[in-house]
């Protein structure tokens, strides 16, 4: 009976909320518990619910999130799938007890090779995040040859759309920072570096 119920639930809900790997107040003062309540609890939950409703009866019902982001035509299914993927990677890349201030190992080497230094990389990433007009994301990704790229993604897009593997993403939609930083996007971006869990980003790169 339990197995049957589980199967039914899986059939009804294709996509789930990602689990937060920390307490809701763990990222304070950079990201407050109130922002988590709205951003994770309401915005992301809404993207997950909307995507589950939209894929019903379509060819995307049985596809993975990554496949939908890669193949869905521009429109509501793509937008919501992109935002579920974006926010899943986003919320899982942070920590309230940062051990490493910067990456090490292979990722550190690649950053030095492709951007000059970690500081140069951060400057370029900050620049992409602050100059993106309107709503969207800045992403660090790696291409098939192992080269790192920084891209600006409009609205709900993700670098996976053009075959890059996303490693680190900063959400620059106002909903991600307005409660804590109001209009000061640049200050919010600068503060985010203090909560990046580099071990998570390194794992995405090593895959
Ligand atoms: Mn967001």
Residue 8 clears pLDDT 60, i.e. is over it: no
144 in a structural domain: yes
CATH of the domain at 141: 3.55.40.20
7 pLDDT band, cuts 50/70/90, is low
Distance between Cα 177 and ligand 1 center (Å): 9
Number of domains in the chain: 1
Give pLDDT, residue 21.
97
d(CA 24, CA 169): 19
Distance between Cα 7 and ligand 1 center (Å): 30
Q: Tell me what percent of the residues of the chain surpass a pLDDT of 90.
A: 93
Distance between Cα 34 and ligand 1 center (Å): 14
At 46-83, the pLDDT tens digits run 999 999 999 999 999 999 999 999 999 999 999 999 99
Residue 176 clears pLDDT 60, i.e. is over it: yes
Give pLDDT, residue 207.
82
For residue 188, the cross-strand partners are: none
Whole-model pTM: value is 0.93
23 in a structural domain: no
24 in a structural domain: no
Give pLDDT, residue 13.
72
44 pLDDT band, cuts 50/70/90, is very high
Give pLDDT, residue 1.
57
* Residue carrying the six token digits 């009804």: 12
Distance between Cα 155 and ligand 1 center (Å): 9
129 in a structural domain: yes
Provide the domain limits for residue 207: 32-207
3 in a structural domain: no
Distance between Cα 9 and ligand 1 center (Å): 26
Give pLDDT, residue 11.
56
Distance between Cα 17 and ligand 1 center (Å): 14
Give pLDDT, residue 172.
97
10 in a structural domain: no
At 119-153, the pLDDT tens digits run 999 999 999 999 999 999 999 999 999 999 999 99
Give pLDDT, residue 3.
63
3-state SS string for the chain: CHHHHHHHHHHHCCCCCCCCCCCCCCCCCCCCHHHHHHHHHHHHHHHHHHHHHHHCCCCCCCCCHHHHHHHCCCCHHHHHHHHHHHHHHHHCCECCCCCCCCCCHHHHHHHHHHHCCHHHHHHHHHHHHHHCCCCEEEEEEECCCCCEEEEEEECCCCHHHHCCEEEEEEECCHHHCHHHHCCCHHHHHHHHHHHECHHHHHHHHHC
Distance between Cα 104 and ligand 1 center (Å): 28
Residue 155 clears pLDDT 90, i.e. is over it: yes
Q: Which residue has the higher pLDDT, 9 or 192?
A: 192
Distance between Cα 87 and ligand 1 center (Å): 6
> Is the bond preceding 10 in cis, omega lying within 30 degrees of 0?
no
Give pLDDT, residue 57.
94
Distance between Cα 130 and ligand 1 center (Å): 15
21 in a structural domain: no
Distance between Cα 86 and ligand 1 center (Å): 8
13 in a structural domain: no
């Amino acid at each position: 009976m339990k197995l049957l119920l589980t199967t039914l639930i899986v059939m009804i809900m294709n996509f789930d909320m990602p689990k937060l790997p920390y307490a809701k107040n763990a990222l304070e003062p950079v990201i407050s518990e109130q922002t988590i309540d709205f951003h994770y609890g309401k915005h992301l939950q809404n993207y997950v619910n909307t995507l589950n409703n939209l894929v019903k009866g379509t060819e995307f019902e049985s596809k993975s999130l990554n496949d939908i982001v890669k193949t869905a035509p521009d429109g509501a299914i793509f937008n919501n799938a992109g935002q579920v993927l974006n926010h899943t990677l986003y919320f899982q890349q942070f920590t309230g007890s940062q051990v490493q201030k910067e990456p090490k190992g292979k990722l550190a080497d690649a950053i030095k090779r492709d951007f000059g230094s970690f500081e140069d990389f951060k400057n370029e990433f900050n620049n992409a995040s602050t100059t993106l007009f309107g709503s969207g994301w800045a992403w660090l990704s790696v291409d098939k040859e192992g080269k790192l790229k920084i891209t600006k993604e409009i609205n709900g897009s993700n670098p996976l759309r053009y075959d890059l593997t996303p490693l680190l993403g900063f959400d620059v939609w106002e909903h991600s920072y307005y409660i804590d930083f109001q209009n000061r996007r640049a200050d919010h971006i600068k503060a985010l570096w203090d909560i990046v869990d580099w071990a998570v980003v390194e794992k995405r790169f090593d895959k």
